[in-house]
Structure 1
Amino acid sequence: MRYVTGVGGANMDLHGRSNAPIIMRDSNPGHLYTSLGGVTRNILDNLSRLGIATKLCSAVGTDTFGDAILAGCAKLGIDMQHVEVCEGQRSSCYLSIMDDEGDMLVAMSDMSVIKSRGAEFILQRLPIINQSEICVCDTDLCPEALEALVCNAAVPVFIDPVSTSYARTMVDLVGKFDTIKPNLMEMEILAGGSIRDEADLSAACDTVLAKGAKHLFVSRGAEGIYYKGTLGCVSKKSRPVASIANATGAGDATMASLIYSRLSGFSIEKTVSFALAAGIAAISSPDTINPDMSPALIRQYEKEYVL
C-alpha cells in the first residue's frame, strides 16, 4: 500500500481570537477553543482528507491531551502504531493568540516530549519510513533525530522549517532534504543572507540548491509562492482573500498539497497553483484543518483565486 510517513510534532492546539483590536497586557474578550495540532500531524491530517494513506511517528505523554491526540488521529484514519507513549511526560501543546482579523499575534509551544526523542527513535522506525513514498517532517525533532532521519532515509524527505529559530537547527543539513517549504524569514536563515527583492530570493535559492536540496517552495505571504529547483523557476500569486477565518493552518495545507502533487505527477506549474489554492482553502475555515479539505475544494479555490 502506498503511504506517506510523517515524523514530528503532534499536539493539542489552544486558540484564542480577540473580538476587538487587542490591548496588550490586558484581558481581551474573545473566542477560545481547542483542536488537534502539530505541524507534521496537521500535514498528515490534510493528506488523509485528500485521500492519501498516512502513518505518524511521534510521541505523546500520558495525559488527557495525549489520549485525545491518539484517539482523534486514529479516527481520521492516520496510522498511530508508531507513536511512542512516554510515561509521566506532558504531551505537546501549542498556544496561539489571533487578533480580531484572524491573523496571529503571538504563539507559544511546548514540544519537549518529541524533542526528547533522539536518534534511536528514528532508527527504530526506519523500516516504516523507508517503505513509504515520501517522508515529511518538521523541526520539532531534536538535531540528533533530524540528522538521523535525513542521513538514513531512502525516500524523499520534505520539511517545513516552522520558524526562524527552528530553521537554524537545520542549516547544516539543508542539502540533504528533497523539498523545503520556508517563508522568506526562514529562507534568509537557510541561505545566510537578507532577501530584499526577487533577485535576492533567486540568489538565496541558488545557495541552498547548491548544497544539494532539490526543490524550494518559498511562501511569500500576499505575494504568493516562489519555486526554484531542478524543475526550473515558477512564481504565482493569488487574488486577495476577502476575509481570513484562521491563518494558523495555511502552511500545513500547503505542504500537504505539495506532497499530493508529487504523488499525482503534477507539473511544477500545476503544483505551485494547487499549493496556493490549498493555503487559501485552509484560511477560509475557522479550524486549523478545514474539515471540508479535498482535491475538489482545492480545485475550486484554484479556479477562483489563483492568477
Structure 2
Amino acid sequence: MSLTDRERELLRLLREHPLATPEDLARLTGNTRAAVNVHLTRLREKGHILGRGYVLRPEGSVLVIGGANLDLKSRLHAPAVPGTSNPGTTTAAPGGVARNIAENLARLGVPTGLLSAIGHDDTGARLLDATRASGVDVSPIVRTDDPTGTYSAILDPHGELILAVASMRAVDALTPDVIRTRRALIDRASAVIVDCNVPQDTLLHAARTAQASHTPLYVEPVSVPKAARLRALLAEGLPVHAVTPNRDELAALTDRDTRTDDGLHAAVQDLHARGVRVVWVRLGEAGSLLSADGDARHHAATPTQVRDVTGAGDAMLAGYLYATLRGDDPHTAARAGHALAALTIQSDHTVRPDLTADLLDAHTQETA
C-alpha cells in the first residue's frame, strides 16, 4: 500500500530515533500528538510498523517463494530437425523462476530471501551453495527427499526457445504449513513474490498471509498450465498487487482472446476488476503493456543482441521491483525491468554474474 509524504517522514524519523515518543515525533514534525497517533495507526495497518511499539519492517526487503532448479540448456548449432539427434552444446547452471528473481534482486543490492524446496542430493547442494554465494538468504529453503528440480530447454541457434520441460516435483514440499512456520518472513518483507510453481493451496495461503501482513503480493504465472492456480486466488478476492503474464497466460487467466489489442486490453481490465492493481503483460519482441491504476501504456523492448532468452522474464520482474522499492513509479520501473531483461538476454547466463545496481542504472539511462 502506498504511503503519504507524512507517513514516509514518520518512518524516516522512527529509523533515526527508534525510542522516540509520540510527543517527540509531534515536535519533530511540527504536528499535534493526536495527528501523529493517527499516522502511526495507519502505518501499523499498512504493515510498516509491526506489533507493539515501533518495530519497523526492514526497509526494502523481499521474500521470493517458488521454484529453484538446475537449468539444462541445449543450444542447437543448426535449425532443428525433428525425429533425430541434433548437434549442439549443453550447459548446466542454477535456475528456477523464484531463484532467478531472488538472485537478480540480491545482485542489485536488495535484501532478499528465498523460500523454495530442493532435494538432499548433489544438485541441491550445488544449487544451495551457488544461490548463497550470490547474496541471497537461503535459510528459509526446505530440503526434501524428492530430487531437486530441473528445467531442460532446447534453444535454436539464435538463442530462442523451441521447447522446455520442467520437472518440479520437489516444490510440492512447499505446503501451507511451511508458509505458516515462516510467516514472520512475510510480516517483515516490503514485498512478496510468488511463482505459480507452488501448489495452489500454498499460493492461496501465502496470499492470505500477505493480506494479513499488509505486504504487497506479486504473482508470476510461470506458464499457461500453472497460471490456472492463480485463478482460485482471484476468485477468492484476495488482493494482488501485481501479476506478470504473457499473452497466453493472460488468456488462461481471463478466458479472453488476447491475440488482438482489443482483447488484450479487455483482459487487463478483467484483472483490474478482480482487484489486481498492476497488470504487466510481456509481449516478447513487441515489448510490454503495463497497466497501473487505470494508466495503461505500451513499453518498447530495449534493443539488444540476443544470446539466450532464458531468464529474461525473471529479470524483468526483478528490475521492476528494484526500481519500485527505491520509489520509482510503475512506468519508470518498467523501463528498468526492460533494461535488465536486455542485459540478461545478451549474456549466456540466466542471471548475469556481473550484475550490479550501477550496471542496470547506467543501461536504463543509456536506453531511455
How would you bin the TM-score normalised by the shorter chain?
over 0.9
1:212-238 CA-to-partner distances (Å, cap 9, x unmatched) read: 111111111111111112162221113
| 1:282 CA displacement | 0.9
TM-score of the superposed pair, with normalisation by structure 1: 0.95
- Taking only the aligned residue pairs, the percentage that are identical comes to 28
Q: Is the 8 A contact 1:280 1:301 kept in 2?
A: no
Q: Is the 8 A contact 1:234 1:272 kept in 2?
A: no
Q: Number of matched residues?
A: 304
Number of the residue aligned with 1:276? 338
Q: Is the 8 A contact 2:290 2:331 kept in 1?
A: no
One-letter code aligned to 1:198: D
- Residue 166 (str. 1) matches residue 226 (str. 2): yes
Which structure 2 segments of 5+ residues have no match?
1-57
SS of the residue 1:178 aligns to:
strand
SS of the residue 2:276 aligns to:
coil
Q: Is the 8 A contact 2:282 2:288 kept in 1?
A: yes
Q: Is the 8 A contact 1:60 1:92 kept in 2?
A: yes
The 5-angstrom pairing of residues 86-101 of structure 1 reads: 86=144, 88-101=145-158
Number of the residue aligned with 2:48? none
TM-score of the superposed pair, with normalisation by structure 2: 0.79
Q: Is the 8 A contact 1:43 1:253 kept in 2?
A: yes
Distance 1:100 1:303 in 2: 30
Larger radius of gyration: 2
- Residue 136 (str. 1) matches residue 193 (str. 2): yes
**Which has the higher relative contact order, 1 or 2, with Cα contacts under 8 A spaced 6 or more apart?**
1
**Alpha-carbon distance change, 13 to 238 in structure 1, aligned in 2, over 3 angstroms:** closer
Number of the residue aligned with 1:301? 363
Equivalent residue in structure 2 for 1:264, among 326, 331, 341? 326
Q: Is the 8 A contact 1:43 1:256 kept in 2?
A: yes
| 1:199 CA displacement | 2.3
The 5-angstrom pairing of residues 191-202 of structure 1 reads: 191-202=254-265
- Residue 123 (str. 1) matches residue 180 (str. 2): yes
| 1:30 CA displacement | 1.2
Q: Is the 8 A contact 1:66 1:91 kept in 2?
A: yes
Q: Which moved more, 1:293-302 or 1:224-233?
A: 293-302
Q: Please provide the CA RMSD for this pair.
A: 1.5
| 1:292 CA displacement | 2.2
| 1:172 CA displacement | 2.0
| 1:114 CA displacement | 0.9
- Residue 37 (str. 1) matches residue 100 (str. 2): no
**Alpha-carbon distance change, 100 to 138 in structure 1, aligned in 2, over 3 angstroms:** same
The 5-angstrom pairing of residues 110-259 of structure 1 reads: 110-153=167-210, 154=213, 155-174=215-234, 175=237, 176-230=239-293, 232-238=295-301, 240-241=303-304, 243-259=305-321
| 1:298 CA displacement | 2.6
Q: Is the 8 A contact 1:143 1:170 kept in 2?
A: yes
SS of the residue 1:214 aligns to:
strand
| 1:10 CA displacement | 0.9
| 1:245 CA displacement | 0.7
Q: Is the 8 A contact 1:238 1:305 kept in 2?
A: no
